[in-house]
Amino acid sequence: MYIFQELNDASKNITFQDTKNAQTWFQQQVKETTDPYKTFKNTETFGLGKLFLFIYDPKHKATLPFYDMYPLVFPLDMKPDGFLGLNLHYLPPAARGSLMNALYTTSNNDKYNESTKLLISYDILRQSATKFAGFQNCVKQYLLGYVRSGFHYVNPKDWDKALLLPTQKWVVNPNIKYSSKASPPY
């Protein structure tokens, strides 16, 4: 049922139909409102282990080589001024799928409805780093004062669709020279 659960290795390709289904789902989400930015405002309680989209304008963007303006994040840990999150956009789709396969093993149930969430934290990911390959690239600190929208909750039944979409918006700092390790991931 879940696309990424079927991707057992990077050699399998995501099909055109998978991408088309994801785009159709996203367009339907946007059509629910006349203002696309209101799509990012929703009443689901923000919480750990749930998936959210939002608009972000980092405090230290002048010193960052690049950042994702539209993160797709599983919050891992709450902080007084924000949260630590796992932004899946920092991995290309095949690696994102592999990581998501591992993350599914941490879900609190197999219903994939509003009651489903991932039982993850930074410590859990770090302690099983080989199981959660690539997570290190995705962990980012988000300050609430720099979130420029509401948090749009992604229902667990739609996680795979959201993961397939190219909704990331890389903002590249023109004042910083890049190496392969300091450029957007793809």
Which pLDDT belongs to residue 14?
Answer: 61
Q: CA 51 to CA 60: how far, in whole Å?
A: 24
Burial of 90 (0-12, 13-18, 19+ CB in 10 A): buried
**Residue 71 has which token pair?**
């993160």
C-alpha angle 74-78-79 in degrees, rounded to nearest 5: 135
Nearest to 117 by CA among 86, 89, 91, 155: 155
Residue 158 lies in a domain: yes
CA–CA distance from 137 to each of 44, 76, 95, 119, 156 (Å)? 27, 14, 11, 19, 23
Residue 111 lies in a domain: yes
Q: With contact defined as beta carbons under 8 Å apart, do 39 and 54 qualify? A: no
Which pLDDT belongs to residue 11?
Answer: 42
Residue 49 lies in a domain: yes
Q: CA 28 to CA 24: how far, in whole Å?
A: 6
Residue 6 lies in a domain: no
List the pLDDT tens digit at each of the 186 positions of the chain.
Answer: 344 544 444 445 666 677 777 777 777 765 553 344 444 344 457 889 999 999 999 999 999 999 999 999 999 999 999 999 999 999 998 899 999 999 999 999 999 999 999 999 999 999 999 999 999 999 999 999 999 988 989 999 999 999 988 889 999 988 887 665 666 777
Residue 112 lies in a domain: yes
Residue 7 lies in a domain: no
* β-pair type (139-143, 82-87): antiparallel
Domain limits for position 75:
14-182
Nearest to 107 by CA among 153, 50, 163: 50
Q: CA 160 to CA 1: how far, in whole Å?
A: 10
Residue 109 lies in a domain: yes
Residue 115 lies in a domain: yes
Q: CA 64 to CA 45: how far, in whole Å?
A: 30
Alpha carbon 38 to its chain centroid, in Å, reads 19
**Residue 180 has which token pair?**
């392969």
Which pLDDT belongs to residue 86?
Answer: 98
Q: CA 41 to CA 75: how far, in whole Å?
A: 17
Work out how many domains the chain is built from and give that number: 1
Return the residue matching tokens 């399998």.
12
The radius of gyration of the chain from alpha carbons, rounded to an integer in Å, stands at 16
